[in-house]
Homo-oligomer: A and B are copies of this chain.
Amino acid sequence: MNLRPLGDRLVVKPIEEAEQTSTGIFLPETAKEKPQQGKVVAAGPGARKENGERIPLDVKVDDTVLYAKYAGTSIKLQGEEYLILKESDVLAIVENGNK
């Protein structure tokens, strides 16, 4: 994929939660929550400050990130779902997250 996000934006591939909950019960499709984790596949150069310099991003490609439900803009490219988030929509980095 060749998406180059602008400013402080990230392209994120959502991670589906495993089909099994922590209590070991399989849930039918409709009961699954919308994913809130994703892997960063592309990152912008950072937003510009007033003087023209960039503010570097804290998030890097391959980070697994946590984001609020319904954050960002969901896009579909070549049959795959991606999410374009602003770095400020990222709540936290999951350090031993799924890759």
Interface residues of A (CB under 8 A from B): 2-7, 9, 11, 21-23, 33, 36, 42, 48-50, 52, 55, 58-59, 66, 68-69, 73, 75-79, 84, 87-88, 90-97
Contacts and interface: CB of A to CB of B under 8 A. Distances in A.
Contacts of A95: 2-4
A62 to B, nearest CB: 14
A69 B5 CA distance: 16
Contacts of A68: 73
Contact of A55 (B52, B66, B79): B52
A90 B55 CA distance: 19
Nearest to A71: B73
Contacts of A42: 92
